[in-house]
């Protein structure tokens, strides 16, 4: 086996020639420059990051400050609006609609400002809504003031009308009093007066003839006569006279089936009458009146008092005495 030639351990080794000092210096300088550049980049990058962080902090501070400012403005506007809502005015439908619009806008602004990470765009929107809300509340305040002024004017006018009404009522009451007084005078003056009052007991004979008598047992009816005197005030019209007949026992005779009833006296009291007589009166003329009272029960012995009323006043009265007749009664 052939043996290859190999260098002997005793053979000296050869090395490349050593670099020159100039080359080494260049390398060192290059490394230093690279190191300085790296440090410079790191320093610049850190500076940029610090500036970005500072800007971010400033931005957050600005947003927070603006948010707080808008919250303060919203609170002030809400307080102002709440005070306006309590104004003592009668609100119309338009003002009530503005109430609802303002409340809705307040809720929208509060919702935006309540956000934790509010954006600049949202902040700008809230600021715009705040300005709009301020304008709405100013308009609302103007309408409230207008309504207050109108209410004050209406109150003044109402007071004036009330004074005028009271004065007119007072004048009317005075006029009514005067008119009533005149009417009373006229009514009193138009009340009829009677004279030549006559009362007789009458017996109806079988022959059909009538016989005047004062024998109570024989009397079938009372004949009442009188004259209605001339009256220049009383109008020409149908007049009603009320005849009241009081029996000897002091009781007023009333028989409903014969026409007895009630009438009103001059003082407004209700009174009973025995018989009603209607006459056709002619103004300024004397009118003779004749009427009969016939009852189903026997007449009593004693005095029968007869009174006649017109316009609630007694205008005449008379009396007739019925006695016990015959030798033995």
In whole angstroms, give the CA distance from residue 321 to residue 220: 15
Residue 35 token pair: 């190191």
The total domain count for the chain is 2
Q: Are residues 217 and 131 in the same domain?
A: no
Phi, psi (rounded to 5 degrees) for 174: -65, -40
Tens of pLDDT along the chain (329 residues) come to 444 454 554 555 554 555 577 888 888 888 888 888 888 888 777 777 767 677 656 656 777 777 788 889 888 888 877 877 776 666 666 677 887 888 888 888 888 888 888 888 888 888 889 899 888 888 888 888 887 787 788 788 888 888 888 888 888 787 777 666 655 566 677 888 999 999 999 999 989 899 999 999 999 999 999 999 999 888 999 999 999 999 999 999 999 999 999 999 998 999 999 999 999 999 999 999 999 999 888 999 999 999 999 999 999 999 999 998 755 54
Distances (CA, A) of 2 to 5, 9, 64, 116: 9, 20, 94, 91
Structural domain containing residue 219: 195-322
Query: Would you say residue 9 lies in a domain?
Result: no
Q: Which residue shows structure tokens 């490349």? A: 16
For the stretch 194-236, pLDDT in tens is 999 999 999 999 898 999 999 999 999 999 999 999 998 889 9
pLDDT of residue 242: 97
User: Under a CB-based contact definition with an 8 Å cutoff, are residues 254 and 272 in contact?
Assistant: yes
Query: Would you say residue 299 lies in a domain?
Result: yes
Backbone φ/ψ region at 167: left (φ over 0), alpha (ψ -120 to 50), beta: alpha
For the stretch 257-274, pLDDT in tens is 999 999 999 989 999 999
In whole angstroms, give the CA distance from residue 222 to residue 61: 123
Q: Are residues 167 and 218 in the same domain?
A: no
pLDDT of residue 230: 93
Q: How many CB atoms lie within 10 A of CB 244?
A: 21
Q: Are residues 205 and 184 in the same domain?
A: no
Phi, psi (rounded to 5 degrees) for 188: -65, -40
Q: Are residues 167 and 122 in the same domain?
A: yes
In whole angstroms, give the CA distance from residue 66 to residue 53: 20
Residue 299 maps to which CATH number? 2.60.40.10
pLDDT of residue 2: 47
No. of helices (H) and no. of strands (E), the chain:
3, 10
Residue 24 token pair: 């080494």
pLDDT of residue 184: 59
Q: Are residues 208 and 113 in the same domain?
A: no
In whole angstroms, give the CA distance from residue 130 to residue 112: 11
Distances (CA, A) of 15 to 9, 18, 20, 21, 182: 16, 8, 15, 17, 162
Q: Are residues 252 and 150 in the same domain?
A: no
Mean pLDDT over each residue of the chain, to the nearest integer: 83
Q: 217-221 contacts: CB < 8 A, separation 24 or more?
A: 217/298, 217/324, 217/325, 217/326, 218/325, 219/299, 219/322, 220/294, 221/292, 221/293, 221/294, 221/295
pLDDT of residue 220: 94
Backbone φ/ψ region at 196: left (φ over 0), alpha (ψ -120 to 50), beta: left
Structural domain ending residue among the three candidates 189, 219, 244: 189
Which strands, in side-by-side order, build the sheet including 194-204? 210-212, 194-204, 221-228, 287-294
User: Under a CB-based contact definition with an 8 Å cutoff, are residues 220 and 202 in contact?
Assistant: yes
Query: Would you say residue 3 lies in a domain?
Result: no
pLDDT of residue 216: 92
Q: Are residues 74 and 206 in the same domain?
A: no
Structural domain ending residue among the three candidates 189, 212, 243: 189
pLDDT of residue 257: 92
Structural domain ending residue among the three candidates 189, 209, 226: 189
User: Under a CB-based contact definition with an 8 Å cutoff, are residues 192 and 310 in contact?
Assistant: yes
pLDDT of residue 304: 96
Query: Would you say residue 23 lies in a domain?
Result: no
Distances (CA, A) of 282 to 150, 189, 228, 235, 310: 63, 15, 10, 7, 15
Distances (CA, A) of 232 to 127, 192, 240, 278, 319: 94, 10, 18, 19, 29
Q: Are residues 185 and 228 in the same domain?
A: no
Residue 252 token pair: 């007023």
Q: Are residues 124 and 226 in the same domain?
A: no
User: Under a CB-based contact definition with an 8 Å cutoff, are residues 67 and 123 in contact?
Assistant: yes
What pTM does this model have?
A: 0.48
Q: Are residues 173 and 255 in the same domain?
A: no
Closest listed residue to residue 253, CA positions, set 193, 194, 307, 185 = 307
């Amino acid at each position: 086996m052939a043996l290859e030639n190999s260098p002997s351990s005793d053979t000296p080794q050869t090395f490349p020639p050593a670099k020159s000092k100039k080359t080494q210096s260049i390398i060192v300088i290059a490394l230093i420059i690279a190191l300085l550049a790296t440090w410079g980049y790191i320093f610049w990058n850190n500076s940029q990051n610090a500036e970005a962080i500072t800007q971010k902090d400033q931005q957050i501070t600005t947003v927070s400050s603006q948010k707080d400012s808008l919250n303060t403005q919203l609170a002030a506007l809400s307080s102002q609006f709440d005070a306006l809502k309590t104004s003592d005015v009668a609100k119309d439908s338009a003002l009530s609609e503005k109430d609802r619009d303002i409340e809705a806008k307040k809720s929208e602004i509060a919702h935006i400002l309540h956000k934790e990470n509010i954006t600049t765009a949202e902040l700008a929107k809230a600021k715009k809504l705040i300005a709009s809300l301020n304008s709405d509340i100013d308009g609302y305040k103007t309408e409230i003031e207008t309504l207050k002024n109108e209410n004050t004017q209406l109150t003044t006018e109402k007071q004036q009308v009330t004074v005028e009404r009271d004065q007119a009522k007072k004048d009317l009451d005075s006029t009514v009093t005067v008119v009533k007084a005149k009417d009373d005078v006229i009514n009193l003056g138009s009340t009829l007066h009677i004279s030549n009052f006559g009362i007789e007991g009458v017996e109806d004979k079988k022959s059909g003839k009538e016989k005047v008598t004062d024998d109570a047992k024989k009397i079938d009816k009372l004949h009442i006569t009188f004259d209605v005197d001339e009256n220049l005030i009383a109008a020409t019209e149908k007049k009603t006279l009320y005849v009241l007949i009081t029996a000897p026992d002091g009781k007023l005779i009333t028989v409903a089936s014969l026409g007895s009833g009630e009438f009103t006296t001059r003082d407004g009291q209700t009174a009973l009458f025995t018989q009603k007589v209607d006459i056709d009166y002619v103004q300024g003329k004397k009118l003779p009146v004749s009427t009969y009272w016939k009852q189903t029960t026997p007449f009593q012995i004693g005095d029968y008092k007869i009174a006649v009323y017109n316009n609630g006043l007694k205008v005449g009265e008379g009396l007739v005495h019925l006695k016990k007749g015959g030798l033995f009664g």
